[in-house]
Amino acid sequence: MRYVRVERLGKVRWGVLDGEVVHTLKYPPYAGETEYYDGKTWDVEKCRLLAPCEPGKIVCLGKNYRDHAEEMGEGIPEQPILFIKTPNCVNDPEGEVHAPAFVRRLDYEGELAIVMKKRAKDLKPEEVWGYILGFTCLNDVTARDIQKGDGQWTRGKCMDGFAPVGPVVTDEIDPTDLLLETRLNGKTVQSARTAQFTTKIPERLAFITACMTLEPGDLVATGTPAGIGPMVPGDTVEVEIQGIGTLRSRVV
């Protein structure tokens, strides 16, 4: 299925996208309900797409592509590096990204993200697929100068709107070898396949849930490939992932 969250005439609904039609739902698709269709349909062209999840937290993986670790001047970490983005970071498809005036370098980081379906704690690698609702695109927007200057990542990663997500969440893909591309003003600046992950999805979720509980709707971002770079006001950034779609943001 291809799950969306949409707004029309001031009303917000979850839905399942079928071509140009949204079959609206009574509940979020990770609410644990089995009969969640409400029998109504909306024309997607008359709707505004919203971020297709409302995470309590976004757990991110650093340096999960070898080429990105190398461009950062560091080797592959011995174990996964985790950091958190907070709920205020969530931004909609076609949304605007704006950094405070004190930020001197604002970077894009295109990523595949996992949306959790149910509460997960102490998972074994072979169990993880049953806990995943689906996959979406994410831009891990980063105030690079702040990140480096602070010596830790919280402030540089967690400013308002620093996690555009969407446009859909889908369970119709195999995430193990997808093409991910990021474009800046139409020019491809990142291109990689998820087969290049240094820590695969089952091992990653087992590692995360050994130390923290993932809740329904939480996001797990899987890391960015080489090619990160700066954005400035007036730029358009697109993160496209095979089988999911294109997440587009404007920098203002």
φ/ψ of residue 217, rounded to 5: 90, -15
φ/ψ of residue 216, rounded to 5: -55, 130
CATH of 58-251, one of 3.30.1490.20, 3.60.9.10, 3.30.70.260, 3.90.850.10: 3.90.850.10
Can you tell me which residue has the tokens 């402030």?
A: 155
What whole-number distance in Å separates Cα of residue 24 and Cα of residue 2? 12
Give the pLDDT of residue 69: 67
Give the pLDDT of residue 73: 66
φ/ψ of residue 47, rounded to 5: -115, 160
Report DSSP state, residue 61: E
Q: What is the pLDDT along the chain (252 residues), one digit of tens a residue?
A: 999 999 999 999 999 999 999 999 999 998 777 778 999 999 999 999 999 999 999 999 988 887 766 776 666 777 888 999 999 999 999 999 999 999 999 999 999 999 999 999 999 999 999 999 999 999 999 999 999 999 999 999 999 999 999 999 999 999 999 999 999 999 999 999 999 998 899 999 999 999 999 999 999 999 999 999 999 999 999 999 999 999 999 999
Does the domain at 2-50 match CATH 2.30.30.370? Answer given as yes
The residue type of 133 is: L
What distances in angstroms separate CA 228 from CA 12, 56, 68, 174, 243, one per listed residue? 34, 26, 8, 25, 22
The whole model's pTM is what?
A: 0.95
Determine how many CB atoms are found less than 10 A away from the CB of residue 144.
17
> Could you tell me the residue ranges of all domains in the chain?
2-50, 58-251
What whole-number distance in Å separates Cα of residue 233 and Cα of residue 66? 30
What distances in angstroms separate CA 195 from CA 65, 183, 191, 198, 201, one per listed residue? 9, 20, 12, 9, 10
> Is the CB of residue 204 less than 8 Å from the CB of residue 223?
no
φ/ψ of residue 14, rounded to 5: -85, 155
What whole-number distance in Å separates Cα of residue 86 and Cα of residue 89? 6
Closest C-alpha among 188, 195, 223, 219 to residue 80: 223
Closest C-alpha among 28, 26, 2, 30 to residue 16: 2
| C-alpha angle 205-209-210 in degrees, rounded to nearest 5 | 115
Give the pLDDT of residue 72: 66
